[in-house]
A and B are shown apart, each in its own frame.
Chain A
Amino acid sequence: MVDSSTLRATRRSFLAGSGAVAAGVTLLPTLGWAAEEKKLNFYNWDTYIGETTLVDFKGVTGIDVKMDLFADNDELFAKLREGNPGYDIIVPTNDYTERMITAKMLMPLDHSKIPNIANISKSFMDPKFDPGRRYSLPYMWGTVGIGYRKSRVDGVPNSWKVLYDSDKYSGRIALLGASQTVLQVGCKYLGWPLNEADPAKLEKVAEMLIKQKRHIKTFADDNGQDLLLSGEVDLAMEWNGDILQVMAEDKDISYVVPDEGGLLWEDTLVIPNGAPHPENAHAFINYILDAKAGAAIADLIQYATPNAAAKAIMKPEYTGNPAIFPSDEVIARCEPAVYQGTDYTQLVDRLWTRIGAA
């Protein structure tokens, strides 16, 4: 069991300090555009790149990639909000990409330096959070749904009811610890849009969760899949990729996006303002969007790639897996989160504090 949880553990330890102390010193780059040294600072999620991607990239371009890891979008955002500490490429999720665009933290991309944009599936090229893809390009995408242990659950849990509004699996369920996602999916369950911002409606979701609380074992920050794998819970609200990793270890675990729909997310490749090596960053993005390089990454991390050329050369076990690529019907019922401003964020946190305190 030296699994992802231990990796996550080490990430958490520096997570503890990073957020609060980020107000400190920033190392602003002094190097010019023209003669860039052969270096690149990549700030990525854990286990989220191909085994040899960085080495292969160095082989092609001679550029040395130094990769740091972050545990969640909040950590990433906190680290960059007081200025870029020296990163060239970061991988925020769509609503945080939108936050960063709003806060003018990102550098516009020069599409002419990224010919492999042509490989990206057309449906990804004009998202609401970044019209025309001026700042971001898609890296991987996925859903939030329910991971469950088949032998301990009746049929397929195809409604959020089992997690949000039922005592059927009392004490055997875990929800995510991500306040906004939990409240938003609650809105979906009650038949409202994911991005519902009416305080009265969000209040209703919070009240439902307060009632449901005694049946929920825990709000799992980033380890719902471990709880599922170790038998601690039988149903867990989770990111599909996390569940897929434990599905590979345990055939009794499965994943479903409930009929009400859920959250659709997309992680993006962006260049933060003040990046010391923007040229290299463009080259790296172009390399990742290459069909073969993209396929190698997707093959290892088992998230859905938006790269049509990469998908075309992948094995059917990957392209045909409904937990990776849900049907178009399911996708149609899912929605991406949008950034809704400070008031919304504060309301969500206050409701979440109340749920925890009730």
Chain B
Amino acid sequence: MVGLPPTVWLLLFFLVPLALIWILSFAELRGLVEMEVTGTLANYARALDPLYLQIFAKSFLFAGVTTVVSLVFGFPVALAIVFAPPRWRALLLLLVILPFWTNLLIRTYALIAVLRTRGIVNFSLEWVWDQGNTALALLGLGSYQLLGERFEPLELLYNNTAVVIGLVYVHLPFMVLPLYASLEKLDRSLIEAALDLGASQVRAMRTIVVPLALPGIVSGSILVFIPALGSFLTPDLLGGTDSQMIANVIERQFKSANDWPFGAALSFLLMYLTFAALALRAFYGRRAARRGAA
């Protein structure tokens, strides 16, 4: 009985709407708001057009880079928290999840304020540039313009790098938390043993810590990769003219293009591709495990 309300909830507010959208992907437009479910595959055929496949590929690339960068930054952070004094740990973990207390949109706008031409990063750099020039002038080198004629602000916003920065910023906690969970369970005596037996720090990290943290790495990567793949707000707000991701195209089908069947087909194609990627990973994971056992 206790399990019933959540099941009903899931059924009513997740599976039923999802099923509706799935059915919609086999519908045809009949005028502005009418749609007829005819079982057509035309929406999927359209979605397989190279134009859209190319955008799928690009979205996978964005999500993949985001995952790798999150891992590279998240791993040391998780490790640092694990090895921090116990009384600091709770506080550090709190800092990791602190951004969740603010709406994603507000955080993205905050990032704009940091990265824009007249933003915090560029103002800081300009200050450093000014100081450098003052120092050069004091040394009598002021007239050589060693640092350039004038300060050129960095173009940090409205390009693909900005999108990746934004995606990493938003998804990093999803990487750090599972990593922390698996690193925390790690038996430290194994590391000590490795070091005692003459392994270098790097070697101990590579052969002991990383393999034991693998479950955390895998779940962290999945938790980052999947939502990153479906992002539309970040590329929309931080991206330039080249940063369109598949979710932007899908959003437009439900809005300006007013083509829900096609949008539904694109959504489900994205979902199938995600499933396929996960299944592939599971398959290779199992094979690697078997080979390891053999």
Contacts and interface: CB of A to CB of B under 8 A. Distances in A.
Interface of A: 1, 5-6, 9-10, 12-13, 16, 19-21, 23-24, 72, 74-75, 77-78, 81-82, 99, 102-103, 105, 171, 177-180, 213-214, 216-219, 221, 230-232, 342, 345-346, 348-350, 352-357
Contacts of B232: 16
Interface of B: 17, 20-21, 29, 31-33, 51-52, 54-55, 58, 103-106, 109, 113, 116-118, 155, 157-158, 232-233, 236-237, 239-244, 248-249, 251-259, 262
Given A74-B255, A103-B31, A357-B55, A13 B118 contact: no
Given A178-B256, A231-B118, A24 B17 contact: yes
B17 A81 contact: no
Contact of B240 (A12, A78, A217, A352): A217
Contact of B256 (A16, A179, A356): A179
Contact of A353 (B20, B55, B116, B158): B55
Contacts of A102: 31-32
B288 to A, nearest CB: 35
Contact of A13 (B105, B252, B256): B105
A353 B244 contact: yes
Report whether over half of chain A's contact residues are helix, strand or loop; otherwise say mixed.
helix
Given A6-B109, A21-B17, A216-B241, A13 B33 contact: no
A163 B96 CA distance: 43
Contacts of A10: 103, 105
Nearest to A171: B155
A221 B233 CA distance: 11
A19 B158 contact: no
Nearest to B52: A353
A12 B233 CA distance: 9
Nearest to A229: B118
7 contacts: A13-B104, A23-B21, A82-B33, A179-B256, A214-B241, A342-B32, A353-B51
B249 A342 contact: no
A230 B120 CA distance: 12
Contacts of B106: 6, 9
Nearest to B243: A356
A232 B157 contact: yes
B254 A356 contact: no
B233 A232 contact: no
Contacts of B31: 102-103, 342
A111 B118 CA distance: 52
A20 B55 CA distance: 20
A54 to B, nearest CB: 26
Contacts of B243: 356
B256 A180 contact: yes
A20 B243 CA distance: 22
Nearest to A82: B33
B158 to A, nearest CB: 4
Contacts of A355: 241
Contacts of A16: 232-233
Contacts of A349: 252-253, 256-257, 259
A219 B252 contact: no
B156 to A, nearest CB: 11
Given A24-B17, A342-B258, A357-B55, A179 B252 contact: yes
